[in-house]
Amino acid sequence: DVKVTQSSRYLVKRTGEKVFLECVQDMDHENMFWYRQDPGLGLRLIYFSYDVKMKEKGDIPEGYSVSREKKERFSLILESASTNQTSMYLCASTTSNQPQHFGDGTRLSIL
Amino acid sequence: QQQVKQSPQSLIVQKGGIPIINCAYENTAFDYFPWYQQFPGKGPALLIAIRPDVSEKKEGRFTISFNKSAKQFSLHIMDSQPGDSATYFCAASIGNSGYALNFGKGTSLLVTP
């Protein structure tokens, strides 16, 4: 069974801090994704990666960056956290012709 | 802009009823249409998916109907149960499921006993 693990379920940070959200998958998937989920807005794609050290911008990349140094790990970085980045963050992974498998999310609050 | 439009935003049905959730898209290059189910505190999980070469797909009590000419697809839940209460998302992508998904805004479904 595919397991996508997000390092924190809940995180509280202050405005201006640099924030790291970590995601690890155990199925050797090439493709990994970061979404944010907000009530009434659904899931919106922030960044994705099709291979180690590769990254592509999604629909809302502003204020975020990512890192993929190892195939199993995909990190989302908030360079200088702001209150409008308070949200639920979801990581997903997949390989060709397989459904995307999601982690259980990190609920991030920026004070 | 939202590439997949989903309605309704919320839905309440009685046990045994047939909730229907509708989605519409504009990009004719989309060729993979999954539905995800999300329970509180959990990530979304794939429920059922369809490609545009078929007009209907059933898996258990869940059915996707697909209208390529109208660029619409919908989810029907037969004999709905309280355990089906969840948020449902439709999505679309170009190519196979390994590519980035464009999600609808979600429908919160409540099935009352």
Which amino acid belongs to residue B17?
G
Q: Is B104 exposed, middle or buried (0-12, 13-18, 19+ CB in 10 A)?
A: buried
Q: Indicate yes or no: CB of A105 within 8 angstroms of CB of B43.
A: yes
Chain B neighbors of A92, CB-CB under 8 A: 43
Confidence (pLDDT) at A99 = 83
Confidence (pLDDT) at A70 = 96
Chain B neighbors of A43, CB-CB under 8 A: 44, 89, 101, 103, 106
pLDDT digits (tens, 9 = 90+) for A49-89: 999 999 999 999 999 999 999 999 999 999 999 999 999 99
Which member of A43, A44, A97 has the closest CB to residue B97?
Answer: A97
How far apart (Å, rounded) are the C-alpha atoms in residues A19 and B93? 30
- The nearest alpha carbon in chain B to A107 belongs to B41
pLDDT digits (tens, 9 = 90+) for B85-107: 999 999 998 876 567 889 999 99
B67 neighbors B28 (Cβ within 8 angstroms): no
> Three-state SS for B36?
strand
First to last CA, chain B: 38
Chain A neighbors of B103, CB-CB under 8 A: 35, 42-44
Nearest CA-CA distance, residue A75 and chain B, Å: 17
Confidence (pLDDT) at B12 = 98
